[in-house]
Structure 1
Amino acid sequence: MTSADFADRGETDAITTFTEDWQRCLRGELIEPPPIAEYVPDGIQVRLAVLTDLVRIDLRHRWDRAGLGKRITEYRKEFPEVENSPELVDLISEEFLARRRYGPLELEEFLTEYPELAQEVRARLTEFAEEGDTAADTERAAALVADLTPGRRIDDFDLITDLGAGTLGRVFLARQRSMQRLVAVRLSAGRAASGHSMAQLDHPHLVRVFDQRLVTDTPVSAPAAAASARLVYMQYLPGGTAAGVLAQRRQGTPADGGTLLLRAIDTAMEAKGEIRPTDSSVRAEIAALSWPETVAWIGRRLADALDYAARRSVLHLDIKPANVLFTAEGIPKLADFAVRAAAPRSIANPIAVDPDSLPYRSPEQLAELLDPAASAPGPRSDIYSLGALLWELLTGAVPFDDPPMPADPDARAETFVTMVRLREQGITDATLARLPPDTPSTLRRVLLECLQADPHRRWRNGAELAAQLDLCLDARARELVDPAPTSLAYRSRSWLIAILGLCVGVPNVLASIYNINLNQSLIIDRMSVADQERFATVGLVNNLIAFPIAGLLLLFLTRRPLTIGFRLARGREYSPRTLAAARRDTLHMGDWAVWVPFGFWMVAGVGWPLGLAFSGVDLPRQTFLHFFAAQVVCAAIALAYPFFPIMIFAVRSIYPQLLVRGGIGAEDERQLRKVAERGNFYLGVAASVPLLGVASATFVDAADLDLVIVPVRILSVGGILAFVLTYRLFRMLEADLLALARAIPQRNR
């Protein structure tokens, strides 16, 4: 790896870590914002570039929180090298946009703070300066956009087909002459664009924005006046939007499954004269899904896109059907990031109260319209909006029956209050009744968590939501995670200690019976009465010490799995780190339950004879070997058989309660697969138990074989039957583990 590779990796790690720590601060997990100085690398090659990006991220987040705003002047004092950044003018421009978002700020007044760069900053901000926009300018720009028709050329683009219009302007299918490619072009009057935010994002489930520019033309309706409009050109997707999917959902039936989505896409493509693809593996995958699975399939990809953008400090804040586009194969992509964030937040603003967007707004977004001084929405606001959209796709209706929006801005406040109250009341029984009959309980739970009125009770980020939606797409995984209330896996959650006690106790009790019978015939019956009393005393002392210590040790090792799931069910909240530790401990319960007894059996195999020797009992060497060989067989029984029933119980009853709280990732998948690998070892031990029983008989004198033949036969036959049962349990556990591992998303999927 070259030094440049190391530099690139260091830059990415620093920026990613800083962004994640800022998100933790916004979630309340950190009291103070992360200090930039702790994230800037030492390398001269990358320090300035990383510092510039860190300042940009810090600036945005600080101005999103009252009382934390920081000016570029302060950053320049703290980090003098910022003066040499080639992006200094851009940073100052971003400060202006961030400050003006929360209150009136004249451009010329702002520029007095940076007199040496005023000319460059003014040029950079010309396209954003509302102060220079007059009503006449806006009218001329609107006339330009309204007069555009297919067949015209504007700038570098030949307009081919009108794809639609909305509050943000008009969208055309166009051919970009310089690149000889088809693109979607949106033209708007004013600043309603997302080019700067979107052009920096590159993700398979985000519409790729190439660039934006101001274009000047002479409208037909006003030939005497030139006008400027904003042009954003982006990836062209022929499959229509989620609005078309909703139209098909309301006309058709959820029994159509994934073909309903494909039908909506084909209808949109036919309207544009496009030809649907053939031999598409993606379309074949969609066609095989039920409708709830199709909704989860769409949502999983959009959630991953939201997580990607949020980790780069970009929020959407306007998720709605028109902003979810589809490729010809059916792959969903999000469009129009950060458009609403740039719009003034006022109930008099037509963009802010767009009726197409309001049904999907989170309670905090609606509250912000009532009080612009309220805290700005965070990433969990997008989680809410995506949940509302997925609910509508699933049922054909929005989750809340909002009142109509009055035209008079003065009368809107009461309507917004009603909308907030409806969301705080939650999903009603009548709304739940609209869910299709085949809706998995996992999907129902996931969407209800998205629609929590309190942001802190929603999924923390898009990655968590994507992980939960992945569970919905695996039938075995979702049955494990969300078992029916009448199922044994669900009801057994209240019997944790009793079930674990049986799983550990029964094999060890059987081993003890074998051990007692063997020792009775080979050792105890040949002792004097006094020695038999000493043997019983040593055994009693051994058991009084060993059993309590083993029990307490097992309870200590399994304390998290035994307590956290119980408390979660009663409303207790835990940090992601604690939940991760509980999941890890749950997957080691089987190991602890076998290795602790195994260790005590082996220690007893040496300690018991030594105790007898110290008590005055003279044991022949052959007797010692008999005793130790029997202990080894018992230890093998304790090691082989409890593991699988305990792990099946843990994976089906304990682990799912921890999995549904989110925060799962690649480490959880690795741990699940490790358990499956360890199962092979325990299966081998189970197969060796009958062989060990036979091997132990070889230490017995030929004259004593009649004394041990019956226990050995019982052990051999019972061991073979137990192995068959153990193998069945092994296959069940392996299937459960692999199902859960498949459902854990990776960022590169």
Structure 2
Amino acid sequence: MTSIAPALSRIGRFYITRELGRGTVGCVYLGHDPVIGRDLAIKTFNPRLTPAEKSRYEQQFLNEARAAGCLSHPHIATIYDASVENGATYIAMEYLQGRELSRMLDNGHRFKPEETASIGWKIADALDHAHRHDVVHRDIKPANIFMVKDELPKLVDFGIARAPKRSGGAEGETPADHWPHTIFQNNKLFGTPAYMSPEQAAGKPAGPPTDIYSLGAVMYEMLVGQKPFQSGSVDKLLNEIALRAPAPPHEVDPNIPMALSQIVMKAMSKRPEKRYQTAEAMALDLKRFLLRERRAMRRMKLEMVALERRHPRKLNFARSPLFWGGCLALAAATMLTFRMLR
């Protein structure tokens, strides 16, 4: 990654080393905590935002810290600190080295069924942990799944998550607490249309089943190499998500196991009550699939070993001296015949 000179040298107690990347609203820096002595990622506002824009998005930043800050899971990026100091709003979080799942898909990477199931199982387990703490992510998509290593995903960006209300009743509520009832806020679309659940597309409440649907949509793309629904028009796309069912993955690609295809399609059921009722149930089905596949692979290897022991000549003829001797004799005879014909 190319190093970019940071726009500032310090935020709170953290020293800024370099800029890691920026989006329309946020900017992420590599920082260092002098107290604990570790590197971390510092997320703050894009320096180009006006004070009015910063004020508008400040609650979203704090909501992310409040949502993810109460979670501790190996597949959720850890939030260390969040604060507003000297007019700077920031979140200090785990520094992840890798790349987004979206970049891998955009580069044409095709995931094997076992890889897809393994990654999906870990994210489903992370969602189960979040849901048990009353946190609904509501924007599960490849760009929010960070791949640290092969099959080691980290769920990030809880900016539009539904977080537990702070103590204090109505005064503790934020605009984010009302987002489950609509996908629009101040004419802004919350969430990513291609991975939205049918209830989100219809502007209905979005609870844990929404995250389950979106994870199914992500796994669908990982398996077949394309999104379940595609359209240049947002309205048409939302209409297709709400009303149309995509072709099952195993019909798009016969090499995809039907059992895994069925898990994905169940997660993507149009009606929430027909989906997995918990992310834990989806994680268990994915884990069972992986165990069955691995057992089948072990059985196949054992059968091959047993067959080789029973019929060593049939399976090891290429290693036999007689085989290579025959090949040399045939080659010599062919050359002799060629010379005689000339």
Please indicate, yes or no, whether the TM-score normalized by the shorter chain is above 0.5.
yes
- Structure 1 match to 2:60: 192
Do structure 1's residue 457 and structure 2's residue 274 form an aligned pair? yes
Question: Can you list the C-alpha shifts for 1:27-78, whole angstroms capped at 9, x where unaligned?
Answer: xxxxxxxxxxxxxxxxxxxxxxxxxxxxxxxxxxxxxxxxxxxxxxxxxxxx
In the alignment, which of 88, 92, 99 is matched to residue 240 of structure 1? 99
Counterpart residue type for residue 379 of structure 1: P
8 Å CA contact retained: 1:363, 1:453:
yes
For the residue of structure 1 that corresponds to 2:96, the secondary structure is coil
CA contact (8 A) 1:176 1:182 kept: yes
Matched ranges for 1:351-362 at <5 A: 352-353=189-190, 357-362=192-197
Is the 8 Å Cα contact of residues 150 and 160 (structure 1) preserved in structure 2?
A: no
1:295–1:211 Cα change, 3 Å: same
Report matched runs for 1:564-603 at 5 Å: none
- Say yes or no: does 1:378 pair with 2:235: no
Moved over 6 A (4+): none
**Residue 438 (1) aligns with residue 255 (2):** yes
Query: 1:316 matched to which residue of 2?
Result: 137
Count of residues in correspondence between the two structures = 264
Question: Contact between 1:151 and 1:158, CA under 8 Å: does it hold in 2?
Answer: no
Q: Equivalent residue for 2:10?
A: 153
Residue type of the partner of 2:11?
I
Q: Which residue type is aligned with residue 245 of structure 2?
A: G
2:273 partner amino acid: H
| Greater relative contact order (Cα < 8 A, sep 6+) | 2
Question: More strand by proportion, 1 or 2?
Answer: 2
Whole-angstrom distance in 2 between the partners of 1:235 and 1:432: 37
The yes-or-no answer on 1:177 pairing with 2:34 is: yes
Unmatched 5+ residue regions in structure 2?
46-53, 163-174, 297-342
Distance 2:158 2:241 in 1: 27
Is 1:207 aligned to residue 77 of structure 2?
yes
Deviations 1:422-464 (A, max 9, x none): 44221137x76443x4311111000001111100000011110
Distance, in Å, in 1 between the alignment partners of 2:88 and 2:146 is 24
The answer to whether the 8 A contact 1:318-1:339 is kept is yes
Higher Cα radius of gyration = 1
Q: What letter matches 1:398 in structure 2?
A: K
After superposition, the C-alpha distances for 1:646-679 in whole angstroms (9 at most, x for unaligned) are xxxxxxxxxxxxxxxxxxxxxxxxxxxxxxxxxx
Counterpart contact for 1:326–1:333, Cα < 8 Å = yes
Partner of residue 367 from structure 1, selected from 202, 205, 213: 202
CA contact (8 A) 2:27 2:43 kept: yes
Is the 2:250–2:257 contact (alpha carbons within 8 Å) kept by the matching residues of 1?
no
**Closer/same/farther in 2, CA of residues 347 and 309 from structure 1, 3 Å limit:** closer
Distance 1:428 1:197, change over 3 A: same
Q: Which amino acid aligns with 2:277?
A: R
Shift of 1:351: 5.2
Q: Provide the rounded CA distance (Å) in 1 between the counterparts of 2:243 and 2:283.
A: 24
Q: Is the 8 A contact 1:319 1:385 kept in 2?
A: yes
- Kindly indicate whether the alpha-carbon contact (under 8 Å) linking 1:150 and 1:159 is maintained by their aligned counterparts in 2: no
The match for 1:425 among 244, 252, 261 is 244
Residue of structure 1 in register with 2:23 after alignment? 166
Contact 1:171 1:186 in 2 (8 A): yes
Query: What is the distance in 2 between the residues matched to 1:422 and 1:313?
Result: 26
C-alpha spacing 1:377/1:167, structure 2 compared with 1 (3 Å): farther
Offset from partner CA, 1:219-249 (integer Å, 9 cap, x none): xxxxxxxxx242011111101211122134x
1:391 positional shift? 1.1
Q: CA deviation at 1:177?
A: 2.3
Query: For residues 471 and 167 of structure 1, what CA distance do their matches in structure 2 show?
Result: 41
Structure 1 unmatched ranges of 5 or more: 1-146, 217-227, 258-290, 369-373, 406-414, 480-749
- The partner residue of 2:223 within 386, 394, 397 is 394
Question: SS of the residue aligned with 1:465?
Answer: helix
**1:693-748 CA distance string (max 9 Å, x none):** xxxxxxxxxxxxxxxxxxxxxxxxxxxxxxxxxxxxxxxxxxxxxxxxxxxxxxxx
Q: Is the 8 Å Cα contact of residues 183 and 236 (structure 1) preserved in structure 2?
A: yes
Q: Share of identical aligned residues, percent?
A: 30
Read off the aligned partner of 1:454 and give its amino acid letter: R
Is the CA contact 1:366–1:420 (under 8 Å) kept in the aligned structure 2? yes
Distance in 2 separating the partners of 1:468 and 1:366 = 27
2:313 is matched with which residue? none
Amino acid of the structure 2 residue aligned with 1:210: Y
Q: CA deviation at 1:165?
A: 2.3
**Distance in 2 separating the partners of 1:169 and 1:351:** 16
Distance 1:434 1:338 in 2: 34
Q: For each residue in 1:504-537, what CA deviation from the matched residue of structure 2 results, as whole angstroms up to 9, or x when unmatched?
A: xxxxxxxxxxxxxxxxxxxxxxxxxxxxxxxxxx
Deviations 1:347-381 (A, max 9, x none): 36475346xx221111111212xxxxx4x211111
TM-score by length of 2: 0.69
Q: For 2:241 and 2:261, how far apart are their aligned partners in 1?
A: 19
- Distance in structure 1 (CA, Å) of the matches to 2:271 and 2:221: 20
Output the amino acid matched with 1:306: L
CA contact (8 A) 1:151 1:160 kept: no
**Residues of 2 paired with 1:445 and 1:167: CA distance?**
38
User: 1:477: Cα distance to partner?
Assistant: 8.1
2:89 maps to which of 201, 225, 230: 230
Give yes or no for contact 1:207–1:333 (8 Å, CA) kept in 2: yes
